[in-house]
Amino acid sequence: MKTMTCKQLGGPCDLPHHGETADQVIKAQDRHLKDVVAGGDPAHEGALKEMKRRWRHPIANMEWYKQTKRDFAALAED
């Protein structure tokens, strides 16, 4: 397992996400952004918009995705 924080994934807080793959932590971040924004946290709105924009434009998103995968690969195991 590895850990990436909300902040490392483009968000504003230090909440850690744990996963075996970059895809798992990206999905966890996606859920986290939706949850906290639904809960009324304005600090995460920008990050949620970015995430939604990425899903709508998968080609433009590819560089971010690849970079996130590289960052994840470079992390030490928990």
Binding site for Zn ion (CB under 5 A): 6, 11, 13, 15
Shortest distance (Å) from residue 75 CB to Zn ion: 18
Nearest distance, CB of residue 59 and Zn ion, angstroms:
26
3-state secondary structure of 32: helix
Let me know: does 1 contact 72? Beta carbons within 8 Å: no
Dihedral sign computed on CA atoms, order 18, 73, 31, 50: positive
In the complex, least distance from residue 34 CB atom to Zn ion, rounded to whole angstroms: 11
- Give me the residue whose beta carbon is nearest to Zn ion: 6
Cβ proximity to Zn ion, 11 vs 72, nearer residue: 11
Q: Rounded distance, CA 71 to CA 57, Å?
A: 21
